[in-house]
């Protein structure tokens, strides 16, 4: 009986780790930046979404406006599907974003050199391959050999504030 209870608890724990993505449909009503937007569901729930596995340039960084414009052109005002993976510390849904029936926003932003693959949180080999290709062909932000990843840029800003 004890083995059965332990097995059941272990099964519950493991299933929570591999829980399926939550699928949410809605219309994009605002673009915050290249990797963040607001989605309005059919139930009139407003969800802040952070695009999974990538990081777009921050405001005041080169290519910030271009990545935001790309995201706006791709999804603003459109009905899309998000596959929510988790929530971040700000309460935003971290999600894969599918638009135009089959396009993945993370992949498209990286393919056009408008985002970095966020390897701290992702081991996605497709995203890494797309980034490598954009980098090798000097597409988008990769035209600048001194491009600073947004996470480093944010860390430098925090460091300067403390000085």
135 classed as catalytic: no
Candidate list 50, 108, 131, 135, residue with the active-site label: 50
Candidate list 59, 84, 92, 161, residue with the active-site label: 92
Report the alpha-carbon distance of residue 119 to residue 97 in Å, rounded.
Answer: 18
58 classed as catalytic: yes
84 classed as catalytic: no
Q: Which residues are catalytic?
A: 50, 58, 92
């Amino acid at each position: 009986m004890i083995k059965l209870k332990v097995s059941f608890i272990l099964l519950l724990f493991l299933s929570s780790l591999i829980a399926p993505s939550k699928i949410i449909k809605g219309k994009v009503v605002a673009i915050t930046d290249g990797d963040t937007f607001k989605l309005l569901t059919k139930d009139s729930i407003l969800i802040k979404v952070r695009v999974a596995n990538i990081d777009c340039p921050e405001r005041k960084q080169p290519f910030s406006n271009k990545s935001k414009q790309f995201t706006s052109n791709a999804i603003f005002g459109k009905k899309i599907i998000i596959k929510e993976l988790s929530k971040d510390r700000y309460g935003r849904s971290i999600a894969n974003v599918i638009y135009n029936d089959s396009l993945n926003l993370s992949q498209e932003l990286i393919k056009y050199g408008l985002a970095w693959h966020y390897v701290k949180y992702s081991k996605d080999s497709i995203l890494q391959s797309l980034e490598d290709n954009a980098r090798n062909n000097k597409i988008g932000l990769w035209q600048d050999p001194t491009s600073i990843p947004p996470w480093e840029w944010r860390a430098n800003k925090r460091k300067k504030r403390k000085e």
